[in-house]
Amino acid sequence: MTTRPTLTRPTLTRPILTSPALNTPGTAPADGMPAPARYWAYATIVIGLALAVLDATVANVALPTIAQDFAVSPARSIEIVSAYQLIIVVLLLPLAALGDIYGYRRVYLAGICVFTLASLACALSGSLDTLTAARILQGVGAAGIMSVNTALVRYIFPQSGLGRAIGFNALTVAVSSTIGPSFASAMLAVASWHWLFAINVPLGVVALMVGWRSLPESSHSGQRFDVLSAILTAIGLGLLIITINAAAHGVGIGVICLMVAVGVAALALAVRRQARTPAPLLPVDLLRIPIFALSIGTSICSFTAQMLAFVALPFLLETGFGYHATEVGFLIMPWPLAVAIAAPISGWLSDKFPAAILGLAGLAALAAGLVLLATLPPHPGIFQIAWRMALCGAGFGLFQSPNNRTMITSAPKSRTGAASGMLGTARLLGQATGAALVALLLAHIPAHGAVTALVAAAGFAGVAAILSILRLA
């Protein structure tokens, strides 16, 4: 008897639908995210970065109003700016390390959440002390945003488009820096200073909601977070920044030497403690990579040059050339506008040409522009100033995106957070050094301090150009 074969009906299972924007925790996209999802994820990066940069610029403009409102001296009102900047410096590397351990997505979203809540606290502050405390908390959130934003870009975009994405990051910073003072002035004309912080709240909520659904997971190192090393690193970097500022304001040599000794000792202990750690919080392992170390040096020197110029130029234009204070901002504006134009273009070029060549060309243009500004005639016209500013900005924009791309891609992917943290730390160290040097020059040679600062800025840009071309080796 022949048996008929049994026909089994295939089991139909509903396919599991997962958003391409989201990944299983602990896993990472192989080479970026698919096209529709990556733009939502990158929108969160842009909003967060713009909030952190805008908040730094608008607070400067509001200082006189805040001092008057709280009946405090202008010098004391600066606490809300210095506290914000200092807390970002000391937390960038520890939060970047947390990103390597627990994922960049978590650190970034936590940063936006803290920044948004702190912005609400700033808007509701009724005294300078409470405002300063809220600004410190806001700096914690900004550090979370800045420490891993570039690391996330590496997971959002494919390798072939990474340069363009980093170029748009630079564009975001440049545009935010450009419109920040004008936005703050317009807001103060129709509302109180509280609204400068309150406007961050709805934008932060939007960034948090979009980021929660769209930001990708990254690989996790699985290491334990070294709290003692984080404290030592924060003490060392914090004292370094404080010492630079103290030297600029005439603090005694004995106090300065003590702060330097304590800061260096703290950093040395942090390095020694993590000497055998495969992923140290203070990323000395990355500094052993020659191209990464040269890129860090290039970044520090270039941002020192830029800040020397940005702080010195208002004194030169107003005191030296007789322009009104309201005209100075418009005269400097071609610089950040040129950065905004050049940064995306250089980002696209960095996907095709060596960063060493692009950096050399950009930094040479920056140095030339600074020399031309330092040698302006006694009564320069607006056009004479504007095209020199634009040359400096175009040079800086041409250098910045390729240099940032090299810093990120020269690090192993598991150490992208540390590289992102070092990127921000190098920028802030350069800016602090540049501002302090201008203060020193203006204090000791007030008649020629601004011009001397521009010459020094050209020198730093030249050193940065040399470091950049050394990367070809």
Q: Is the pLDDT of residue 246 over 60?
A: yes
Looking at per-residue confidence, does 12 or 314 come out higher?
Answer: 314
Using CA atoms, how far apart are residues 324 and 367, in angstroms rounded to an integer? Answer: 27
Using CA atoms, how far apart are residues 461 and 364, in angstroms rounded to an integer? Answer: 7
Looking at per-residue confidence, does 4 or 83 come out higher?
Answer: 83
Helix axis angle, 290-315 relative to 449-470, nearest 10°? 160
Segment 426-434 shows an average pLDDT of 84
275 C-beta neighbours (distance < 10 Å), count: 10
Using CA atoms, how far apart are residues 152 and 215, in angstroms rounded to an integer? Answer: 8
The conformation of residue 293, written as its DSSP 8-state character, comes to H
Which residue has tokens 């979009």? 210
Using CA atoms, how far apart are residues 448 and 78, in angstroms rounded to an integer? Answer: 26
Using CA atoms, how far apart are residues 49 and 287, in angstroms rounded to an integer? Answer: 26
Segment 41-69 shows an average pLDDT of 82
Q: Is the pLDDT of residue 22 over 50?
A: no
Say yes or no: domain 283-473 is CATH 1.20.1250.20. Answer: yes
CATH topology of domain 33-222: Growth Hormone; Chain: A; (1.20.1250)
* pLDDT band with cut points at 50, 70 and 90 for residue 115: very high
Which residue has tokens 């004995």? 254
Q: Is the pLDDT of residue 369 over 80?
A: yes
Residue type at 430?
Answer: G
Looking at per-residue confidence, does 124 or 19 come out higher?
Answer: 124
Contact at 8 Å (CB) between 163 and 348?
yes
What percentage of the chain has pLDDT greater than the value 90?
24
The predicted structure's pLDDT at residue 4: 45
Which residue has tokens 């041409």? 398
Using CA atoms, how far apart are residues 339 and 346, in angstroms rounded to an integer? Answer: 10
The predicted structure's pLDDT at residue 120: 95
* pLDDT band with cut points at 50, 70 and 90 for residue 190: confident
* pLDDT band with cut points at 50, 70 and 90 for residue 75: low
Contacts of 199 (CB under 8 A, 6+ apart): 187
Using CA atoms, how far apart are residues 423 and 162, in angstroms rounded to an integer? Answer: 16
Q: Measured at the alpha carbon of residue 381, what is the angle toward residues 379 and 385, in degrees to the nearest 5?
A: 105
Using CA atoms, how far apart are residues 109 and 209, in angstroms rounded to an integer? Answer: 9
Query: What is the average pLDDT score of the chain?
Result: 82
Contacts of 8 (CB under 8 A, 6+ apart): none
Q: Which of 109-123, 210-224, 297-311, 439-453 has the highest mean pLDDT?
A: 109-123
The predicted structure's pLDDT at residue 74: 67
Contact at 8 Å (CB) between 57 and 180?
yes
Q: What are phi and psi of 29, to 5 degrees?
A: -60, 140
Using CA atoms, how far apart are residues 421 and 107, in angstroms rounded to an integer? Answer: 12
* pLDDT band with cut points at 50, 70 and 90 for residue 325: low
Using CA atoms, how far apart are residues 199 and 118, in angstroms rounded to an integer? Answer: 12
The conformation of residue 224, written as its DSSP 8-state character, comes to P
> What DSSP assignment string belongs to 134-180?
HHHHHHHHHHHHHHHHHHHHHHHS-GGGHHHHHHHHHHHHHHHHHHH
* pLDDT band with cut points at 50, 70 and 90 for residue 133: very high
Looking at per-residue confidence, does 381 or 74 come out higher?
Answer: 381
The predicted structure's pLDDT at residue 114: 95
67's enclosing H/E stretch is: helix 35-70
The predicted structure's pLDDT at residue 326: 65
Contact at 8 Å (CB) between 307 and 427?
no
Contact at 8 Å (CB) between 287 and 425?
no
Q: Which of 229-233, 277-281, 451-455 has the highest mean pLDDT?
A: 451-455
The predicted structure's pLDDT at residue 31: 66
The predicted structure's pLDDT at residue 3: 47
